[in-house]
Amino acid sequence: MSHSDFDFTAMKNKRVLISGGLGFIGSNIAQRCVALGAKVTILDACIEPYGWNHANIEEVRNDVRVIKGDVRNRGLLFELVPGQDFVFHMAAQVGREISIEQPEFDTEINCIGTLNVLEAIRQHNTGAKIVFAGSRGQIGEPVYMPVDENHPQNPTDVYGINKMAGEQYVLLYNKIYGFPAVSLRLNNVYGPRCQMHAGFYGILNWFMANAMQDKVITVYGDGQQTRDYVYISDVVDAFVRVALSDAANGEIYFVGSGVETVFLDMVKTVIASVGKGEYKHIPFPKTREAIDIKKFVVTYQKLHDAVGWQPQTDLKTGVQMTADFYQKRLQKYQRNS
């Protein structure tokens, strides 16, 4: 299947629940599902310091239902899951260092929270399909590249371990109970609606905020580590495609650009897009150094073969579109700074 052949019309009138839907990826999925004619419910606990932001859904505020609530509350999920066609499970504790400092907290949200969503589907609506947000953090330091879905998982933090467990729960429930389920392992996602108030994740967007506010960007070490940066609209496209495709049921897929980018080159691209900004190198903090990955890039071949997906936006273009988005809205994304 070629990229443009995919038929998205089946999303019309579908009922969609997005946990973590006020956050970066969830809100972009919400915007896309509304545009496709779906009936969207957002569930978000609005926990600090994560990416929830009412500005993320201002264009579709009158078209979506927003429930403030927590995936750790199983009873609430029992109320919300019945009647849904799709559950995009984005809610997560997303900080790698936080996961190490507070392992139980990470486990409660990323493992028990995921089990709660699965139990709600099992007990109240086995017709619903769950699409889970997995992570490159499940892999750890690659033993070969490009990383594919057969690569062993050796996470370097509690977040990665719990994402791995969450994914396994999703696949297990699919096997035992037969309801449709998919896991997308995301790489470094960037773009419009990512939080800009903290640098502990979403580093590209954080650096962009620094450049826009004349703050010096700090690069740990020599900045020669590599990453696979993928633009948000491509990621959303992957989520909607696997949701609508029966062939994806019971599968895991990497979502990445397939391009290995040197960290420092990403920084320079950000500065060029903003039109100002400077960076300096500083030593790695100890905890970060212990968990930092040196090289990373994936192949998206499996996803392409299944649903025709391929990234449409290269780094330079995506970073420029991100800068254009925030030029007018940075203030709305600065609540904790």
Ligand X SMILES: NC(=O)c1ccc[n+]([C@@H]2O[C@H](COP(=O)([O-])OP(=O)(O)OC[C@H]3O[C@@H](n4cnc5c(N)ncnc54)[C@H](O)[C@@H]3O)[C@@H](O)[C@H]2O)c1
**270 vs 2: CA distance, rounded Å:** 31
Regarding 333 and contact with ligand X (CB under 6 A), the answer is: no
Regarding 309 and contact with ligand X (CB under 6 A), the answer is: no
By CB under 6 A, which span of 67-75, 215-223, 279-287, 298-306 interacts with ligand X? 67-75
One of 14, 18, 24, 139 touching ligand X (CB under 6 A): 24
The nearer residue to ligand X, 37 or 153, going by C-beta atoms, is 153
CB of 222 to ligand X, least distance (A): 23
Q: For residues 279 and 267, is the Cβ–Cβ distance under 8 A?
A: yes
Helices (H) and strands (E) in the chain, counts: 12, 13
Q: Of 266, 289, 268, nearest to 220 (Cα)? A: 289
One of 11, 14, 16, 23 touching ligand X (CB under 6 A): 23
Regarding 253 and contact with ligand X (CB under 6 A), the answer is: no
215 to 212, 231, 253, 271, 316: CA distances (angstroms): 8, 24, 37, 11, 22
One of 44, 106, 157, 234 touching ligand X (CB under 6 A): 44
One of 11, 14, 18, 19 touching ligand X (CB under 6 A): 19
The nearer residue to ligand X, 5 or 93, going by C-beta atoms, is 93
Q: What is the DSSP letter of 156?
A: S
Per DSSP (E only), the strands in 122-269 are 129-135, 181-186, 188-190, 217-220, 226-227, 229-231, 251-255, 261-262
Regarding 291 and contact with ligand X (CB under 6 A), the answer is: no
Q: Which residues pair with 135 in a beta bridge?
A: 186
Residues 6 or more apart in contact with residue 294 via CB below 8 angstroms = 141, 225, 226
Task: Please give the backbone phi and psi of residue 98, each rounded to the nearest 5 degrees, phi first.
Answer: -60, -40
Number of residues that bind ligand X (CB under 6 A): 32
**235 vs 294: CA distance, rounded Å:** 23
By CB under 6 A, which span of 65-73, 209-217, 257-265, 273-281 interacts with ligand X? 65-73
**259 vs 13: CA distance, rounded Å:** 36
Q: Which residues within the stretch 133-152 sit at the binding site for ligand X (CB under 6 A)?
A: 133, 135
Active site residue 159: yes
The nearer residue to ligand X, 133 or 208, going by C-beta atoms, is 133
By CB under 6 A, which span of 23-31, 32-40, 288-296, 314-322 interacts with ligand X? 23-31
The nearer residue to ligand X, 45 or 307, going by C-beta atoms, is 45
Given 50, 159, 190, 326, the catalytic residue: 159
Regarding 319 and contact with ligand X (CB under 6 A), the answer is: no
Q: Which residues within the stretch 68-127 sit at the binding site for ligand X (CB under 6 A)?
A: 70-72, 90-94, 109, 113
The nearer residue to ligand X, 54 or 316, going by C-beta atoms, is 54
Task: Please give the backbone phi and psi of residue 334, each rounded to the nearest 5 degrees, phi first.
Answer: -120, 20
Q: Which residues within the stretch 157-186 sit at the binding site for ligand X (CB under 6 A)?
A: 186
One of 45, 139, 170, 252 touching ligand X (CB under 6 A): 45
Q: For residues 211 and 217, is the Cβ–Cβ distance under 8 A?
A: yes
One of 16, 20, 107, 151 touching ligand X (CB under 6 A): 20
Q: For residues 43 and 60, is the Cβ–Cβ distance under 8 A?
A: no
> How many CB atoms neighbour CB 331 within 10 A?
10
First to last CA, the chain: 45
CB of 197 to ligand X, least distance (A): 11
Catalytic residues: 159
Contact set with ligand X (CB under 6 A): 19-20, 22-26, 43-47, 50-52, 70-72, 90-94, 109, 113, 133, 135, 186, 188-189, 195, 202
